[in-house]
Amino acid sequence: MADAYIGSSVTTVPLPLNYVHKPEKFENRTRALDGSMLINYAVTTGNVAVTKYHFELPGITQDERLAVREEALKTGNITYIDHITIPEVLTCTGSTERITMNLLRGLSSTETSDITSVTLNSSGQAITITTSTTPPSDEVYITTTGRMTFGPGTTAGTNNLIVNYIPAYPVHIISDDHTLMQKSSTGVHIVRYNLVLEEV
């Protein structure tokens, strides 16, 4: 698996063993007066649950930890790419004209190989990464910010657009801790560093 990239200056962080990449639903939980639990989910216009991603980098070195911290001090929302493909499901109502939709996240690069597939009503679409907005039929143009423009004659359907791609996540550090694992007889410390990142 490829190393992770973080920050505008593209600091490389090797993914450690026990690396955690986990989607979590946007939700809040409260109790009603009768004690019952109420759970509210954030959803897209197509009633698809919206998730944000949580990342844990356990057991990294001091140099790797400091490199990430330095990037975080430069800007509040740092870009994080861990080269793991995620699915995104969107609703496309269909149109005889070109339509535009947006992914929830930008692309990790300008390489089409980072987009595994774009499927519309079980039909694969030819993919081009470009700022142009006039694709032909059965083709989709995607910008690096995640704006997708489909060619004319897009077929209507419900939750019928599936995109598998490697995104660039805007993240912030929510936990930065170190644990003293061992102290030798000469006073040398063996320390474990753990960073937790969460999508903004």
Q: Can you give 149-160 as a three-state secondary structure string? A: EECCCECCCCCC
Q: What is the pLDDT of residues 102-150, one digit of tens each?
A: 999 999 999 999 999 998 877 888 999 999 989 988 889 999 999 999 8
Q: Is the Cα dihedral 156, 158, 160, 164 positive or negative?
A: positive
pLDDT-based confidence at 197, cuts 50/70/90?
very high
Interatomic CA distance for residues 131 and 148, integer angstroms:
10
Residue 163, CA atoms < 13 Å, CB-side half-sphere: 27
The per-residue pLDDT for 47 is 63
What confidence score (pLDDT) does residue 161 get?
Answer: 84
Q: How far apart are CA 68 and CA 167, in angstroms?
A: 19
Confidence of residue 42 (pLDDT cuts 50, 70, 90): low
Select the highest-mean-pLDDT range: 9-23, 28-42, 59-73: 9-23
Tokens at residue 80, please?
A: 């994080």
Going from N- to C-terminal start, the domains of the chain cover 1-84+167-200, 85-165
Give me the pLDDT at residue 46, please: 58
- pLDDT above 60: residue 156: no
